[in-house]
Amino acid sequence: MKKFLGFGLGLRTNHYVDVIEQKPDIDWFEIISENYMVAGGKPRYYLDAIKEHYPIVMHGVSMSIGSTDPLNMDYLKKLKTLIADVQPEWFSDHLCFTSVGGINSHDLLPMPYTEESLNHVVNRIKQVQDFIGRPMLLENVSSYLTYKTDEMNEWQFYREVCEQADCKMLLDINNIYVSARNHDFNAMDYLQSLNPERIQQFHLAGHSDFGDYVVDTHDHDVPDPVWQLYREALKLFGPVSTMIERDANIPSFADLEAELNVARSIAEQCIPDIRSQIEA
């Protein structure tokens, strides 16, 4: 079963005061887990105030689930503590590796799509889910290269990982678009191959287009082809909790709200009664 939270935003430091003072009409917020793994401070103060009024989901960037390093238990303990404190609707991280030999690249590096890699990642997700005591969501990353050793394509790999590990999908629509451009595949083939039951959340974002390739910068407005793909995803998967993910070049809160309203109206065009399906 998947819970439909409605339309949310990534909570960013420069919008704390807007959110607390204006109580904007946003259905939920996503936080970056690592930013709150501190004793307290400003971030925790504001989060505590904001979670009084809004459902929260947690999104991590440092689990490094695909790495051949041992699982970072220190990190997982901090994550488990934070989950206990925040009581999020769910938590997520990316299908990628970030750390090698204890060094964190702070980037979402692509996995080779092989049986070896599949087994490795599935085992680790199971361990994480057992340790945390809840299922997780796994997000597709954008990529700029294809390994020679690949035995399957990205969506076959992603689908298999989530089926075998029994975890949910956080589908970043922009990342699919970016990878489709960089690897010259049809984004619709990707979407159509996925199991609707698995898809729990969408990210919408923008990117930088360099002509020959596209970089997932998450620092622009959502562009038309990503909105178009969002329409197709709604038709295929029904109501899925949707948010705008802006990581850099962050606009005013009002601008993000306006962008989220675009998502709402597109969703209503695809599924007319979608707003009534939001579970409080």
Partner 1 sequence: MSSLEQIQQDFLQFLLHGKGPLAEHVVNDQGNINAAERVSIYGNAYRVRLQEVVETDHEMLGLYLGDDLFDQMFQGYLDAHPSTFDSLRHFCQHLPQYLATTAPFSEHPILTELASFERLLLAAFDAADIKRATLEDLSAIPPEQWPQLQIRFHPSMQLFTESYNTVSSWQALKAERAPEPATKHADEQHWLLWRNHQRLTEFRSLADDERYMIDQYLTGAQFAEICEGLLTWHSEQQVPVVAVQHLQKWLQQGLIHQFSVAVD
Binding site for partner 1 (CB under 8 A): 34-35, 37-45, 62, 67-68, 72, 75, 78, 97, 100-107, 109, 111-112, 114, 116-117, 120, 144-149, 182-184, 212-213, 215
Q: Binding partner of residue 106 among Fe ion, partner 1, none, CB under 5 to 8 Å per kind?
A: partner 1
What tokens appear for 255 in the block?
């601008």
Name the residue among 201, 206, 274 with its Cα closest to residue 8.
201
Q: Binding partner of residue 192 among partner 1, Fe ion, none, CB under 5 to 8 Å per kind?
A: none
Rounded-to-integer distance, Cα 121 and Cα 19, Å: 37
* 98, 53 contact by CB (below 8 A): no
What is the total count of residues that contact Fe ion (CB under 5 A)?
3
Those residues with Cβ within 8 angstroms of residue 130's Cβ, 6 or more apart along the chain or in another chain: none
Query: Is 189 strand, coil or helix?
Result: helix
Q: Name the residue nearer to partner 1 (CB basis): 212 or 273.
A: 212
Rounded-to-integer distance, Cα 167 and Cα 40, Å: 30
Q: How far is the CB of 172 from Fe ion (least distance, A)?
A: 4
Rounded-to-integer distance, Cα 222 and Cα 226, Å: 6
Q: Name the residue nearer to Fe ion (CB basis): 172 or 257.
A: 172
Residue 29: CA count within 13 A, CB half-sphere: 28
Rounded-to-integer distance, Cα 43 and Cα 35, Å: 7
Q: How far is the CB of 205 from partner 1 (least distance, A)?
A: 16
Which string of x and - marks every residue 235-264 that binds Fe ion (by CB under 5 A)?
----------x-------------------
CA 50 distance to own-chain centroid: 20
Label the pairing between strands 103-109 and 214-215. Answer: unpaired
Q: Binding partner of residue 172 among partner 1, Fe ion, none, CB under 5 to 8 Å per kind?
A: Fe ion
Q: Is 172 in the site for Fe ion (CB under 5 A)?
A: yes
Q: Name the residue nearer to partner 1 (CB basis): 7 or 75.
A: 75
* 5, 55 contact by CB (below 8 A): yes
Label the pairing between strands 241-244 and 7-10. Answer: parallel
Q: Is 12 in the site for Fe ion (CB under 5 A)?
A: no
Q: Binding partner of residue 149 among Fe ion, partner 1, none, CB under 5 to 8 Å per kind?
A: partner 1
Query: Is 138 strand, coil or helix?
Result: strand
Q: Name the residue nearer to partner 1 (CB basis): 43 or 238.
A: 43
Q: How far is the CB of 10 from partner 1 (least distance, A)?
A: 16
Work out which of 120, 159, 181, 203 binds Fe ion, going by CB under 5 A.
Answer: 203
Those residues with Cβ within 8 angstroms of residue 126's Cβ, 6 or more apart along the chain or in another chain: 165, 166
Q: Binding partner of residue 203 among Fe ion, partner 1, none, CB under 5 to 8 Å per kind?
A: Fe ion
Q: Name the residue nearer to partner 1 (CB basis): 62 or 174.
A: 62
Q: Binding partner of residue 183 among Fe ion, partner 1, none, CB under 5 to 8 Å per kind?
A: partner 1
Q: Is 207 in the site for Fe ion (CB under 5 A)?
A: no
Which residues are at the interface with Fe ion (CB under 5 A)?
172, 203, 245
